[in-house]
Amino acid sequence: MGSNESSPVPVILPIQIMRIGQLVILCVPGEFTTMAGRRLRDAVKDVLISGGNGEFNAKVHIVLAGLTNTYSQYVTKFEEYQVPRFSGASTLYGPQTLSAYIQEFQKIATAMDPMVANKGSHQTNTLPPDMLDKQIGLLLVVILDSTPPGVHFGDVSSDITANSDFRKGSTVNATFHTACPRNDLLTDGTFALVERLNGDNWIPGYDDDDWSLRFKWSRPSKLSPESFATLEWTIPEDVVPGVYGLWDFGASKPLIGSIEHFTGTSRAFAVR
């Protein structure tokens, strides 16, 4: 289909096939009904087994990965569209939608044959339009982060009691002066970390990927530029006994200038 950027629904849909050995994943940009999915899967399986220079056999396992890359609501088989209940009435492109998907996925499946792929017959220059600059963002931008006078980002607001001794299953927490997490999502790092003292060095133990460690961000009021990060660590049963500490990471935004990263550390505590 042609591109029409004013359309309220996608008019160019990306589809793809991924292969891991005998596992073939059909990436579909919509929600297929059970029978529509089976028909697509069977059609692709027939192409793969009949071609592919014997790379695929009856044991090939084909699955659908729905809502991939974009969303175009439901896809039903022709018969379901004739009785337009919920899924049929939500099939945007008419009764032949499934047939179109089957046709295009069969082309990609055929192109997986090395002899066909080398000819480049599967190439396309038709891409979905980039609509990022037309999206409306409802999140307010971060204007300023600040701390009380004499306090730095990363300083502890509520620390762990000195010389504390904790048991497995108990919860340790500390609160830090921090900044809005949206300044830097730290996708290559972490907002929270538990480290264990090993000799003279601290080594990472748990971060915000772990269920046992929670990072809770809050503001005292909606219009306040000050914010706090509370780290809560529920000590796992399989933890290695030793001396630990909580570490807070973040990035602050001044009114003028660039974003600055900071680190905060709690008091050390013992885990028995």
- The domain in which residue 68 lies consists of 16-132
If asked whether residues 128 and 162 sit together in one domain, one would say: no
pTM assigned to the model: 0.61
CB 30 within 8 A of CB 75: yes
How many structural domains are present in the chain? 2
User: Cα(42)–Cα(45) distance, rounded to whole angstroms?
Assistant: 5
User: Cα(188)–Cα(264) distance, rounded to whole angstroms?
Assistant: 18
In this predicted structure, what is the pLDDT of residue 47? 93
pLDDT digits (tens, 9 = 90+) for 34-82: 999 999 999 999 999 997 677 898 899 999 999 998 899 999 999 999 9
Tell whether 214 is covered by a domain.
yes
If asked whether residues 126 and 200 sit together in one domain, one would say: no
Per-residue tokens: 19: 């292969």
If asked whether residues 20 and 126 sit together in one domain, one would say: yes
Instruction: Give residue 237's pLDDT band: very low, low, confident or very high (50, 70, 90).
Output: very high
Tell whether 168 is covered by a domain.
yes
Tell whether 2 is covered by a domain.
no
Q: What is the CATH number for 203?
A: 2.60.40.2300
Domain boundary among 67, 100, 132: 132
The residue type of 23 is: L
Tell whether 241 is covered by a domain.
yes
* Percent of all residues in the chain with a pLDDT value above 90, rounded to a whole number: 76
Per-residue tokens: 213: 């460690």
In this predicted structure, what is the pLDDT of residue 1? 40
If asked whether residues 66 and 128 sit together in one domain, one would say: yes
Neighbours of 157 (CB within 10 A): 17
